[in-house]
Amino acid sequence: MPTSSQRARRAIHRRAIVQWSIVGIVLITIGLGWWFPWLGFSVPIVMAMGVIGSLFNGRYVCGNLCPRGSFYDRLMPPLSRKRPIPNWIRSSAFRWTLFALLMGFMVFRILQNPTDPMHWGRVFWVMCVVTTLIGIPLALLIHPRTWCSFCPIGTVQSAIGGGRGQLQIDAKACRTCGLCEKKCPMGLSIAEHRQDECLPHRDCLRCSECVAICPVGALEWPSRPPD
């Protein structure tokens, strides 16, 4: 029977294939969305996927199926300074304030011409461009997934299902080597929670990177790694 690490390695291999397959969606949407506004509808589709997915497995969609998340995971790490993400960026006050501002702006713009689908598509395109222009400098200067730490839809996913299927930690096996934390796309602290025997972070992306890298198999999903 495969170990948790073996299952996790297979999961991250599949994750890499999927992410490389969809990373072009965000590039095509940004590059061509002004001329082809219907491309902007990829934005609400991904948003809906994330919210629905959070009902079952927290931020799994964000960590495995989001085109922009894939962009940050696959293209940004070699260019990033990989500094710790500041705590104020992760704070609920900042995240929900940004959520209200961005969602309010989006609704305001849509209501300016609510009967034209192409207007909707262009609004979604603008939202994608603006937020990506915020996310890329943060990825370069701080951490690849800095934007994902306060992404409005990520915040909703975290609130709805962040506590589901928490990563299990074997406190006796854990050596606090820190390899799991270095591999975590969100830069989450993991080893310090070993005495809790589970990871309480609601922003865990269910990517299985930490499970695969652990040299002693101290990390495991409750039943099976998400795939």
Q: Say what the pLDDT of residue 227 is.
A: 44
Q: Say what the pLDDT of residue 145 is.
A: 98
Amino acid at 13: H
Can you list the positions of beta strands (E) in the chain? 168-169, 219-220
pLDDT higher than 60, residue 224: no
Residues in Cβ contact with 137 at an 8 Å cutoff, skipping those fewer than 6 apart? none
Closest listed residue to residue 168, CA positions, set 139, 204, 118, 143: 204
The dihedral built from the CA positions of residue 30, 33, 38 and 40, taken in this order, carries a sign that is positive
Helix count (H) and strand count (E) of the chain?
Answer: 10, 2
pLDDT higher than 90, residue 58: yes
For the chain, the structural domain boundaries read 4-161, 168-217
Give the pLDDT band (50/70/90) at residue 2: confident
The overall pTM is greater than 0.85: yes
126-143 mean pLDDT: 97
Q: How far is CA 159 from CA 29, 52, 54, 139, 219, in A?
A: 28, 12, 9, 23, 23
151-172 mean pLDDT: 95
